[in-house]
């Protein structure tokens, strides 16, 4: 089974089918049917890309099969661990992005793991920060990242850099 790379799509199969990861097979089937009907050109009068339909079919096929669903969930977990993903982060130790070292060449923020001390154990790319951070409602963002060596997860707080135009006199 081949899964669509996370860079090709920004949604999980659960998001594609508008279901929770704990949804029953019946709930997945109902949502899939509803989505297909709501996007069918005969019903909407609009063209829907084959990519959208193909993605819905692949998501459905994967999530209704218990073996494929388990494989997908494991794949999704590994992807989230590599990218940093905000599921909420309550209860995790919070660090500021200012505690990370910025590697300009790789456009990454890195820090040694607080638990296992592996160098560059936690890595956040600029792309991950921009795409996966969740607004905290106070002008900041949170993202959760896991150490590449051990099972430690931390929450990282950061703020978007505001670019200012400077005027020369």
For residue range 66-77, what is the model confidence (pLDDT) as tens digits? 999 999 888 877
Domain spanning 13-83: which CATH class is it, in words?
mainly alpha
Q: Is the dihedral of CA 59, 49, 129, 158 positive or negative?
A: negative
Burial of 105 (0-12, 13-18, 19+ CB in 10 A): exposed
Using the structure block, give the residue that is written with the tokens 């508008």. 18
| Residue 141: other Cβ atoms inside 10 A | 19
- How far apart CA 79 and CA 108 sit, in angstroms, is 17
Residue 165: predicted pLDDT: 57
H/E element, 144: strand 140-146
User: How many whole angstroms separate alpha carbon 112 and alpha carbon 142?
Assistant: 19
- Residue extents of the structural domains in the chain: 13-83, 94-159
The DSSP output letter for 7 is: T
Kindly report each contact of residues 86-89 with a partner whose C-beta sits within 8 Å and lies 24 or more positions away, as own/partner: 86/132, 86/133, 86/134, 86/142, 86/143, 86/144, 86/155, 87/144, 89/142, 89/144, 89/155
Class of the domain covering 94-159: alpha beta
Is 34 within 8 Å of 16 (Cβ atoms)? no
122: which DSSP letter?
Answer: E
Pick from 11-20, 95-104, 137-146: least confident: 11-20
pTM across the whole model = 0.46
CA angle 69, 73, 79 (to 5 degrees): 140
The per-residue pLDDT of the chain, averaged, comes to: 79
pLDDT score, position 30: 95
Please report where in the chains the tokens 């890595």 appear, as a residue: 123
Share of the chain above pLDDT 90, in %: 28
């Amino acid at each position: 089974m081949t899964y669509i790379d996370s860079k090709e799509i920004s949604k999980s199969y659960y998001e594609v089918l508008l279901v929770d990861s704990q949804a029953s097979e019946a709930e997945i089937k109902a949502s899939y049917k509803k989505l297909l009907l709501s996007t069918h050109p005969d019903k909407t009068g609009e063209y829907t890309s084959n990519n959208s339909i193909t993605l819905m079919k692949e998501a459905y096929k994967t999530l209704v099969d218990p073996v494929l669903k388990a494989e997908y969930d494991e794949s999704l977990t590994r992807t989230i661990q590599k990218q940093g993903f905000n599921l909420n982060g309550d209860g995790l130790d919070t660090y500021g992005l200012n505690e990370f070292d910025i590697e300009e060449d790789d456009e990454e923020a890195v820090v040694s793991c607080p638990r296992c001390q592996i160098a560059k154990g936690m890595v956040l790319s600029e792309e991950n920060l921009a795409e996966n951070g969740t607004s905290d409602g106070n002008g900041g963002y949170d993202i959760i990242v896991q150490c590449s060596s051990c099972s430690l997860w931390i929450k990282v707080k950061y703020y978007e850099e505001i670019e200012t135009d400077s005027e020369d006199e």
